[in-house]
Amino acid sequence: MQVSYVGKLSWMLQCAKGIDYLHSKNTIHRDLKTQNLLLFNKHRVLKICNFDTVKKFSMKNTEGTGTFSYKAPEVYDDSEKYSEKSDVFSFGIIVWEVMSRLKPFYEFNSAFHTTIQMEINKGVRPNVKDMRSYNNFEHIIFIIKQCWSQDPDQRPTIKALIFFLSFDPRSFRYNPDLLLTGRPLRDICDEDFRF
């Protein structure tokens, strides 16, 4: 199946809105990954699933819950508390995976989970050059890199991500100041999903 850039952006916007709903309930998913995203209505509607790992914001992180390639660095530290920013990190990995059509850290295909965890803690991230190149793609690379920040406080909020994903990417080409020039992302259509 071939999915257009707009189709992929629509999926990511829907994913961000689902995460925002969880966060509005003071809840963190803790295992966001593409395997926990379901598609409905001829691949146009995305829903988040697998809520076995959800946790309230204020609870202390006492276990390494989640899938190693998608977990934020602070999730590995037992002295830290989870925040919603750990889901933002995972969201950045998901966006990279959807755009690249590769599994995160594929280059470590036979490595132990602890090896990948140590690399993430050192600041290693998937290679943005692996992503397919689309016109006006730079803002997605910027968003992904912001989501991957080592410092959770430097990651954007999910509401900020929804705001940026809601705009037509061509808006960035004419003027990077979206507040003044942004156009809404167009609705998806049959041409965005070819079988």
Active site (catalytic) residues: 31
Nearest partner of 161 among 7, 9, 31, judged by Cα: 9
First-residue to last-residue Cα distance in the chain: 5
50: left (phi over 0), alpha (psi -120 to 50) or beta: left
Beta-carbon-side half-sphere exposure of residue 183 (alpha carbons within 13 Å): 11
| DSSP class of 190 | G
User: Which residues are CB-neighbours of 114 under 8 A, at least 6 positions away?
Assistant: none
Distance CA 140, CA 128 (A): 10
Query: CB count, 10 Å around CB of 86?
Result: 27
Distance CA 87, CA 71 (A): 8
